[in-house]
Amino acid sequence: MKINNINIKNFRNISDISILPDENMNIICGENAQGKTNIIEAIWLFSGAKSFRNNKDTVFIKFGEKNSLIECNFEFNGVSNEIKIKFEENKKIVFLNGEKLSSTACLAGNFGAVIFSPSDLSIVKDSPSVRRKFLDVSIGQLYPQYINFLNSYTKAIIQRNKIIKDYKFDSTLSVMLDVFEEEISNLGEKIIKYRKKYISILEKYVPDIYLGLSDGKENIKIKYISNFQDNLEEKLKESRKIDMLSGITSIGPHRDDIEFFINDINAKTFGSQGQQRSVALSLKLAGAEVSKEILGEYPVCLLDDVMSELDPKRQNYILNHIKNWQVFLSCCDPANTNGLNKGKIFNIYKGGIKI
């Protein structure tokens, strides 16, 4: 997948920018608050996912303007495509190849992207919900039907939670519990199957990438942690008494987790911030390899402020060892890009490209 051009108008602090990117490495350079991350964010929105910064569409519109427009022309499997997203005060309008779509979510599977931002350190060091979200977003881009399974599963969990709170006062609700527990079981097993399949492919690429980032000094392992082994429906029935006390469903993939081990030591508990950053970055870069394996082409890679806390060897790995796919990388310090062998550098100043 390759972006041929990008147009951004009245998006956050950007008035009007057009970019003709390199097919490989693109450095978006500038001081803080000039618009670098806004460009990365705009590209990410073409994937159909929500913003990695703020989910309110109104914040995309530049102050004093009535609407905002982002558009790009890209190639996927040799076919030229065009996406336009217009943000207005109370709505957004999405077009794919001139056809109006019902929502940006319909873009999933049409434009592929992976993103790394400073907040992605949370994948390693924060709560299990962050790691589940990482999995769900990654899988949803590759398999749009997974999003439907996940949404239906979440609704069934909400319904079970409502029923379980009243169950101790009305045992006739057991019939309704049976219905929702069967649905949760069927959907939950599909979700776990997708997650384990994704991780099994991810494991083929993460070790080599992390080894490269650590200059050959460290190894990484990934482990999916589930709170049940088999027969989810039976486990849900067994957990009813415990769940009545808490009012929540305690068993299922909505409570699962992932663990990362660096040289057999838990990265969340004992890893340094640099190691945790390298783990998160490895996951994102490996995610691009998974997309290539499944979809046949690399997604666009978006790296926001990735260079600042990496040593020169890791910086060189990012700049020159990501090959044959398009990368957009933002950074503040031009010195961090001195080792770039091939690509384009765009200097951003006050929401525009500085010539």
**76-90, 144-158, 307-321: which has the minimum mean pLDDT?**
307-321
Q: Does the pLDDT at position 70 exceed 70?
A: yes
Q: Which domain holds residue 130?
A: 113-298
**131-135, 173-177, 263-267: which has the minimum mean pLDDT?**
173-177
**Considering the domain boundaries, does residue 127 fall inside one?**
yes
In this structure, the answer to whether residues 30 and 75 fall within a common structural domain is: yes
Percent of the chain with pLDDT over 90: 56
In this structure, the answer to whether residues 106 and 124 fall within a common structural domain is: no
In this structure, the answer to whether residues 82 and 160 fall within a common structural domain is: no
Q: CA 122 to CA 277: how far, in whole Å?
A: 9
In this structure, the answer to whether residues 129 and 277 fall within a common structural domain is: yes
In this structure, the answer to whether residues 216 and 159 fall within a common structural domain is: yes
Contacts for 227-230 with beta carbons within 8 Å, 24 or more apart? 227/251, 227/252, 227/255, 227/256, 228/252
Q: CA 345 to CA 328: how far, in whole Å?
A: 10
State the maximum Cα–Cα separation within the chain, in Å, rounded to a whole number: 72
pLDDT of 235 reads 94
Strands (E), 49-118: 67-76, 79-88, 92-96, 99-101, 113-116
CATH number of the domain bearing residue 39: 3.40.50.300
CATH number of the domain bearing residue 152: 1.20.1050.90
In this structure, the answer to whether residues 98 and 139 fall within a common structural domain is: no
In this structure, the answer to whether residues 253 and 320 fall within a common structural domain is: no
In this structure, the answer to whether residues 79 and 159 fall within a common structural domain is: no
**Tokens at residue 218, please?**
């460290």
Q: CA 86 to CA 187: how far, in whole Å?
A: 35
pLDDT tens-digit readout, 10-45: 999 999 999 999 998 899 998 888 899 999 999 999
**Considering the domain boundaries, does residue 4 fall inside one?**
yes
Q: CA 164 to CA 247: how far, in whole Å?
A: 6
- Residue 308 φ/ψ, nearest 5 degrees: -60, -35
- Domain boundary, last residue among 254, 275, 298: 298
Confidence of residue 55 (pLDDT cuts 50, 70, 90): low
The structural domain count of the chain equals 2
pLDDT of 326 reads 93
| pTM (two decimals) | 0.79
**Considering the domain boundaries, does residue 352 fall inside one?**
yes
Confidence of residue 355 (pLDDT cuts 50, 70, 90): low
In this structure, the answer to whether residues 140 and 185 fall within a common structural domain is: yes
**Tokens at residue 130, please?**
């962050």
**Considering the domain boundaries, does residue 265 fall inside one?**
yes
Q: Does the pLDDT at position 166 exceed 70?
A: yes
Neighbours of 284 (CB within 10 A): 21
In this structure, the answer to whether residues 171 and 92 fall within a common structural domain is: no
In this structure, the answer to whether residues 324 and 220 fall within a common structural domain is: no
User: Pick from 152, 174, 153: which is nearest to 163 by CA?
Assistant: 174
Query: What is residue 62's DSSP assignment?
Result: P
In this structure, the answer to whether residues 95 and 226 fall within a common structural domain is: no
The average pLDDT across 39-61 equals 86
**Considering the domain boundaries, does residue 304 fall inside one?**
no
pLDDT tens-digit readout, 199-258: 999 999 999 999 988 888 899 999 999 988 889 999 999 999 899 989 999 999 999 999
The average pLDDT across 57-75 equals 91
**SS3 state at 204:** coil
Q: Could you tell me if 89 and 61 are in contact, meaning their C-beta atoms sit under 8 angstroms apart?
A: yes
pLDDT of 7 reads 96
pLDDT of 336 reads 74
**Considering the domain boundaries, does residue 303 fall inside one?**
no
More confident residue, 45 or 58: 45
**SS3 state at 48:** coil
